[in-house]
A and B are shown apart, each in its own frame.
Chain A
Amino acid sequence: MELYELSIHEALAALDRKEISSLDLTEAYLTRIERIDPSVQAYLTVTADQARAAARQADLRRAEGHAQPLLGIPIALKDIFCTRGIETTCGSRILKGFIPPYDATVAERLSEAGAVLLGKTNMDEFAMGSSTENSAFMPTHNPWDLGRVPGGSSGGSAAAVSAGLAAASLGTDTGGSIRQPASLCGVVGIKPTYGRVSRYGVIAFASSLDQVGPFARTVPDCALMLRVIAGHDPRDATSLPDPVPDYSSLPPGSLRGIRVGVPDEYFVSGMEPGVENGVRRAIDTLIELGAQVDTVSLPHTQYALAAYYLIAPAEASANLARYDSVKYGYRAPNPTSVLDSYQRTRGEGFGPEVKRRIMLGTYALSAGYYDAYYLKAQKVRTLIKADFDQAFARFDVLVAPTSPTVAFPLGSKTQDPLSMYLSDVCTLPVNLAGLPGMSIPCGLSDGLPVGLQLIGPPLGEEMLFRVARAYEATGQWTPTIPPLP
């Protein structure tokens, strides 16, 4: 077994037994990145020197007897997280060359936990997209089929973990940007409850929906990553004060007595049969584990996409106003006036999808349209939340497909924004309701991974990990790094 194939828990055990060093592990990943990443293109920036220095430091600390939860574990961060002294572009030309003088809270927490940063991963520009093709710099390829997309917007982070280019990684999820790429790349990804993880230093797309979460190849690894990054942050007024349970120490067990709801509305028309079969098989496994499964209706689901594409762009239109050439980032050369500088900088600095959403959001908030669009969307959001509240009165967890399709070919949806938006139809209601949602691999369809989505009540992450752990332990899915050239 290669070192890059070890799960975090396996690697930590090997480090503890002094069979390997963090430097060995880090070098294994760096070598693999050098060899494989030219074809996967998961990383925008590889911080090899810093990673080696951090690995040596970790080995020293371990030798001194320090115990930190991720001491010496090589990980990757989506390029949406501000990292002190390391270029942070958010996948956009407008931030090319931007080097933050501060760390995102999650970057700080990972570093304090002893993790070794390998680099920054590719993403759709400002996290707007479902295929990572909206990156200003390059597309990322799905490790299971290099001709296909890894999903998005956190496609680089998902692909890196899937291809064995990092032990784990962080992404962000505004409408499905962790769960959908996790599903398409065959890895585990969780979007926690809104407010569970600090957003400080996370470049904002839609502030009321954005949430940070980890990718890993196994459920316990994913749980360990979340345990490290979760918790209250005084720098984020929307972060929750509730204590963080030790998700990663949950033993696999039976699901006897667990009430599982299957929302009818998530089995949408246009869903691929291979996806539906995979999800139905996984549900059968949950029944075998003792879960009580029944169907449930979330009647306002059909309005979620429309509401989402008003609320998220509205917030984005304000969040992206700061990229104006005045303070940092790209500035169009030789401006003749402030207005000219704004217009050309933003015209040249933003890609088409970002511009489309800024325009959508600006329109939705404009005088005379606010009530019809933004306000109505917020009312829909309330109804969607109420659907979930009612469902969670009867069920402990809901299960559904993560994505209606497996990974689709590169370029197949780039000319049709609406079909791209539909990739998130099963995930974005969860963001609107602020709930925790998780995707775990549940098999292959024509050689491509299928994801099972688990949705919990507010702060129900423990329940999601419990169900996921039980399912994973059945061996229906074995964490696998696909063969790569």
Chain B
Amino acid sequence: MAVTTTYEPVIGLETHVQLMTQSKMFCSCSAAYAGAEPNTHVCPVCLAMPGVLPVMNRLAVEYAFMTGLALNCQIPEASKFDRKNYAYPDLLKGYQISQFDLPFNINGWITVEAEGVTTRVGITRAHLEEDTAKLIHRHDNGDSRSLIDMNRSGVPLLEIVSEPDLRSPAEARAYLQKIRLIVRTLGVSTGNMEEGAMRCDVNVSLRPVGTEKFGTKVEIKNLNSARSVLRALEYEIERQARALDSGELISQETRGWDEDKSVTFSQRSKEEAHDYRFFPEPDLPPVFISAEWVEELRARLPELPDQRRERYVQEFQLSPYDAVQLTSSVEVSHFFEETVRLYPNPKTVANWIEGDLFRILRERDTEIDTLPMGPPQLVELLQLIDRGTISHGTAKEVLEDAAFSGKSPASIVKEKGLTQISDTEELNRAAAAAIAANPQALADYKAGKKQAMGFLTGQVMRATGGKANPALVNEILRAHLDKA
């Protein structure tokens, strides 16, 4: 592909994160509107009725600072809100209360792991603003109308702007996933992209490999999943590369992403760009941030993903790779740590989670916290292996069942009669029978062909319906063969 050889993509993201406060940013309406009837979480303030005034939600402000601290940002001593003016029916006041030149958080960074490489990505700013209402466009039988659901109007929104430090679609996706992980770890947002609790715009330009100067950037708006970010960027990079190859100029513009057609399309050019006429919000006093307040908030931060990953390496002697895998989501790390607490063999637990459990989750396209199975069941399974009740192979089968039924592994083993045969007498009989039935294997063994051993083990396992203890079978077979 032309892209990787000729051009280097330069990517930056603007991520909007809805903060999970009880009430909205500037009024006391409930911010938890998911699933609510349209226009039920509203009051004169979030409806922008005449004469109403905003009052700051202190928790939203604190969440914004906590997120900034987790993004290694600097917090200024003084900040303020500004009005961003533009006319659109989903913006009820005709301006959005946002932050312009004195955002709450500036100059941060996070680390992002993609394709085995760790990159440090700069965070330009993270500022607090309010969400807009939601337009619903209906076309029924030639009648087309637009409806407004104002429940979302005024929900606190943190806009996190990255530096143009990302160099591939995979890195951009990993960045978004890391932001999601951080806000979920903090408990300040659900980070749920499907529900719109996290939304993303990307900026992308290409430059010839080895050059410094940025190319002309294009913004792709409203990407609503990590997958869309990946695919839209892949498409857009290819589109720009082709254009540049054929000598065209890239025009600075805003593009949309058509999920069904998998293409980006032009929405508005630079000339049509808004003049937002920012000015300080006169209805809200400036915010002064004392060092004590910042330290108090810092003390409230939970263990962050990077710290947790480091701890897994130190405390559990896991490889950095394992640590990244096990800290990839809040739920996975909780599952892992709870399992290790009950079964203090981190490496074994890590192998089971990263191997079979992740495979099961991938196959069924589900998340660890939605499984009916919890850490106690995994612990029970591991103990069944340790006691020799079931083989490693049988355990995989039991895990598959337990994961979705939530039943105890012991009861599954009992129900399905999967208990491993460790009865020496029965295995002696089976071994003798296998050798008797396969004289060639015996001859091969005697001739030093060790693979004959494996063949015979397989025969014994088959004869016992896979329930034989493999280690014991080996031992008994060897005794028989050596005697023969």
Contact = CB atoms under 8 A, between A and B. Distances in A.
Contacts of B85: 317-318, 321, 365
A324 B95 contact: no
A322 B44 contact: no
Contacts of A362: 277
Contacts of A95: 50
A473 interface: no
A328 B278 CA distance: 26
A235 B50 contact: no
Contacts of B284: 237-238
Interface in A312-361: 314-315, 317-318, 320-322, 324, 326-328, 338, 342
Given A321-B87, A365-B85, A238 B93 contact: no
B320 interface: no
Given A201-B51, A204-B51, A318 B83 contact: yes
Interface residues of B, number: 28
Contacts of A201: 51-52
B53 A98 contact: no
A326 B148 contact: yes
B56 A328 contact: no
B52 A234 contact: no
B90 to A, nearest CB: 9
Contacts of A236: 53, 55
A90 B54 contact: no
A238 B285 contact: yes
A200 B275 contact: no
Interface residues of A, number: 44
A204 B279 CA distance: 16
A244 B47 CA distance: 32
Given A318-B94, A318-B95, A322-B94, A82 B51 contact: yes
B51 A200 contact: yes
Contact of A326 (B49, B52, B89, B282): B89
A235 B50 CA distance: 14
A314 B281 CA distance: 11
Most buried by B among A90, A95, A98, A207: A207
B386 interface: no
B369 interface: no
Contacts of A237: 53-56, 283-285
Interface string A33-70: 00000000000000000000000000000000000000
B338 to A, nearest CB: 43
B143 to A, nearest CB: 16
A367 B100 CA distance: 14
Contacts of A321: 85, 87, 93-95
Contact of B279 (A202, A314, A327): A314
Contacts of A204: 50-51, 283
B50 A324 contact: no
A104 interface: yes
A204 B285 CA distance: 16
Contacts of A203: 50-51
B92 interface: yes
B48 interface: yes
Contact of B49 (A206, A234, A238, A328): A328
Most buried by A among B53, B54, B89, B283: B53
Most buried by B among A90, A104, A317: A317
Interface string B213-245: 000000000000000000000000000000000
Contacts of A88: 50
Interface string A352-378: 000000000010011100100010000
B283 A238 contact: yes
A366 B279 CA distance: 10
Nearest to B43: A102
A254 interface: no
A374 B279 contact: yes
A199 B44 contact: no
Contacts of B148: 326
A101 B45 CA distance: 11
B53 to A, nearest CB: 5
Contact of B44 (A101, A206, A238, A326): A101
Given A318-B94, A321-B94, A324-B94, A104 B51 contact: yes
B283 A366 contact: no
A458 interface: no
Contacts of B277: 317-318, 362, 365-367, 370
Most buried by B among A80, A206, A322: A322
Nearest to A375: B279
B95 A235 contact: no
B95 to A, nearest CB: 5
A292 interface: no
Contacts of B83: 318
A207 to B, nearest CB: 4
A147 interface: no
Nearest to A204: B51
A366 B50 contact: no
Contacts of A326: 89, 92, 148
A206 B279 CA distance: 13
Nearest to B93: A322
Interface string B75-97: 00000000101010100111100
A208 interface: yes
A366 B276 CA distance: 8
A136 B83 CA distance: 28
A340 to B, nearest CB: 13
B49 A102 contact: yes
A100 interface: yes
Interface string A241-252: 000000000000
A234 B44 contact: no
B275 A366 contact: yes
Given A315-B282, A362-B277, A365-B279, A322 B48 contact: yes
B44 A98 contact: no
Contacts of A100: 44, 49-51
A327 B92 contact: yes
A342 B279 contact: no
A216 B55 CA distance: 32
A210 to B, nearest CB: 9
A208 B27 CA distance: 20
Most buried by B among A102, A104, A374: A102
Contacts of A238: 53, 282-285
Contacts of B52: 102, 200-201
Contacts of A322: 48, 50, 92-94
Interface in B422-455: none
A298 B258 CA distance: 62
A416 to B, nearest CB: 29
Contacts of B47: 327
A237 B47 CA distance: 18
Nearest to A98: B50
A102 B45 CA distance: 10
Interface in A110-166: none
A322 to B, nearest CB: 5
Nearest to B275: A367
Contact of B50 (A90, A207, A315): A90
22 contacts: A82-B49, A98-B50, A101-B44, A102-B44, A200-B53, A236-B53, A236-B55, A237-B55, A237-B56, A238-B53, A238-B284, A315-B279, A318-B94, A318-B277, A322-B48, A327-B47, A328-B49, A342-B87, A365-B85, A365-B279, A367-B277, A370-B277
Given A104-B51, A235-B53, 18 more contacts: A82-B50, A101-B44, A202-B51, A204-B51, A207-B282, A237-B54, A237-B56, A238-B285, A317-B85, A317-B277, A318-B85, A318-B95, A324-B87, A327-B49, A362-B277, A365-B279, A367-B275, A370-B279
Instruction: Give the top 10 A-B pairs by smallest Cβ distance, nearest first.
Output: A321-B94, A208-B282, A365-B277, A207-B282, A203-B50, A201-B51, A203-B51, A367-B275, A322-B48, A82-B51
